[in-house]
DNA sequence: ACCTGAACACCGTTCAAGT
DNA sequence: ACCTGAACACCGTTCAAGT
């Protein structure tokens, strides 16, 4: 890639990250192009679909999810405390960008999605936490990792769109934890 | 209301129901106006915001939810079977109109939403089912009705947007049921 | 090879003119 | 009191002309 093209691409992603964080993933693309100092055609050349730009912006979140999983696994307390710590971290991550939770969770398990690579990273972190608990015999039989990450993502999406706080999110995650773990 | 105005309003709602069912709640409003044989201004006079039109269209769903709750309460089997029957019915109802689940669940608990009256009806049906189970001592302590209807609505929203079938929805609802009911 | 920006398309929303 | 439809605004998307 030519140096000026690389520079333009980097600036677009940097600006998009700021705009998306503030206005959500549905923010107008022409404003991003304008703030990045490029024409709209240049943005479309690098990112033919909005989802491709979202994928690039989400690198920031994907970089953090595995250390979050590590922290949850190392959390003090029993399986329930560790699972809840993971759920809370994951919801916090997905609600860091307005609109991210619904898009990520909708694309979860869809290989053809432009953000499939990021979904794989999130799902992988979730699976690491669940595998740990499963090895301890703490998980109910027949609970599928993909369904769990969809359920937690669903809570994140509702929390995002309804602007719910921890006092509403916490009880929902507790229901999920009790449904995932043995009685 | 003048007779011709009433007739226009009825035709708009009737057409909108068909278009929304087929293309989802984000379908263009000008097509609805055209199919109803009115100008765009007439649609805006009767429904200043898209959510007001959605509210009218959803009357059809609100009319059915209470008989669904009755059916679930009368369902054969223990508390888990009845709760699952209710969850499945509710998800089926909310996914009957593409886009409905996310909008309804996002508005749940928001008195100021244009669809607040429909949310109240859905939440009331949910509360009737849960009250029955709670009276039997089947519910965990501290489970809030509003959080439950949000959780099931979240599953419906994900199922809607990811076009998931019963083989994916069923296991998610089982996790919720186990989280809501006593071990 | 890449960029610009004018141009087009689509659709939400308003409002002056009509009945 | 209500309706029409032209007009405007906004934004996604394309592409001919330029460097």
Segment A95-138, tens digit of pLDDT = 999 999 999 999 999 999 999 999 999 999 999 999 999 999 99
- Picking from B151, B175, B183, the nearest residue to A147 by CB comes out as B175
Measure B41 CA to C15 C1' (Å).
9
Tell which residue, B80, B61, B79, has the closest CA to residue B125: B61
**Length of chain B, in residues:** 183
Domain at B1-48: CATH architecture: Orthogonal Bundle (1.10)
- Picking from B108, B144, B179, the nearest residue to A178 by CB comes out as B179
Mutate to test the interface with A, among B84, B138, B146, B158 (most CBs of A within 10 A): B158
Q: Is the dihedral of CA A119, A122, A124, A130 positive or negative?
A: negative
pLDDT in tens, A34-47: 999 999 999 999 99
DSSP letter (8 states) at residue A142: T
* Rg for chain B, CA atoms, rounded: 18
| Exposure of B15 in the CB half-sphere (CA atoms within 13 A) | 19
Tell which residue, B99, B82, B85, has the closest CA to residue B153: B99
Q: How many CB pairs under 8 A join A and B?
A: 97
* Rg for chain A, CA atoms, rounded: 18
Question: Chain A within 8 Å of B61 (Cβ-Cβ)?
Answer: no
pLDDT score at B19: 98
DSSP letter (8 states) at residue B15: H
Average pLDDT estimate for A20-40:
98
Q: Is the pLDDT of residue B100 over 90?
A: yes
pLDDT grade for A1, boundaries at 50, 70 and 90? confident
Measure A28 CA to D10 C1' (Å).
10
Nearest nucleotide (C1') to the CA of residue A47? D13
Question: Chain B within 8 Å of A94 (Cβ-Cβ)?
Answer: no
pLDDT in tens, B39-72: 999 999 999 999 999 999 999 999 999 999 999 9
Q: Would you say A97 and A57 are in contact if contact means Cβ atoms under 8 Å apart? A: yes
Q: Residue with structure tokens 């201004």?
A: B41
Chain B residues 133-162 with CB within 8 Å of chain A: 140, 142-144, 147-148, 150-151, 153-155, 157-158, 161-162
Measure A51 CA to D19 C1' (Å).
30
Round to whole Å and give the CA distance between B99 and B24. Answer: 6
Domain at A57-180: CATH architecture: Orthogonal Bundle (1.10)
pLDDT score at B1: 83
Q: Which residues on neighbouring strands pair with residue B139, listed in sequence order?
A: B181
Q: Is the pLDDT of residue A152 over 90?
A: yes
pLDDT in tens, A59-96: 999 999 999 999 999 999 999 999 999 999 999 999 99
pTM: 0.96
Q: Domain ranges in chain B?
A: 1-48, 57-180
What share of residues in chain B are helix, strand, coil (percent, to 5)? Answer: 75, 0, 25
Q: Is the pLDDT of residue A183 over 90?
A: no
* Protein-proximal positions, strand D, CB < 7 A: 1-7, 10-16
Residues of B in Cβ contact (< 8 Å) with A91: none
Measure B26 CA to C16 C1' (Å).
30
pLDDT score at B156: 98
Percent of chain B with pLDDT over 90: 99
Q: Is the pLDDT of residue B109 over 90?
A: yes
């Amino acid at each position: 890639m030519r140096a000026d093209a690389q520079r333009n691409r980097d600036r677009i992603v940097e600006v998009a990250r700021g705009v998306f964080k503030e206005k959500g993933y549905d923010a107008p693309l022409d404003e991003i192009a304008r703030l990045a100092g490029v024409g709209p055609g240049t943005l479309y050349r690098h990112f033919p679909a909005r989802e491709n730009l979202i994928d690039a912006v989400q690198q920031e979140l994907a970089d953090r999810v595995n250390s979050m999983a590590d922290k949850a696994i190392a959390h003090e307390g029993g399986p329930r405390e560790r699972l809840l710590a993971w759920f809370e971290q994951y919801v916090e991550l997905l609600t860091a960008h307005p609109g991210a939770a619904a898009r990520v969770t909708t694309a979860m398990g869809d290989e053809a999605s432009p953000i499939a690579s990021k979904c794989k990273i999130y799902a992988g972190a979730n699976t690491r936490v669940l595998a740990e608990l499963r090895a301890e015999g703490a998980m109910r039989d027949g609970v599928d990792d993909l369904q769990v990450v969809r359920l937690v993502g669903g809570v994140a999406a509702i929390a995002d769109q309804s602007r719910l706080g921890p006092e509403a999110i916490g009880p929902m995650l507790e229901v999920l934890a009790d449904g995932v773990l043995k009685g």
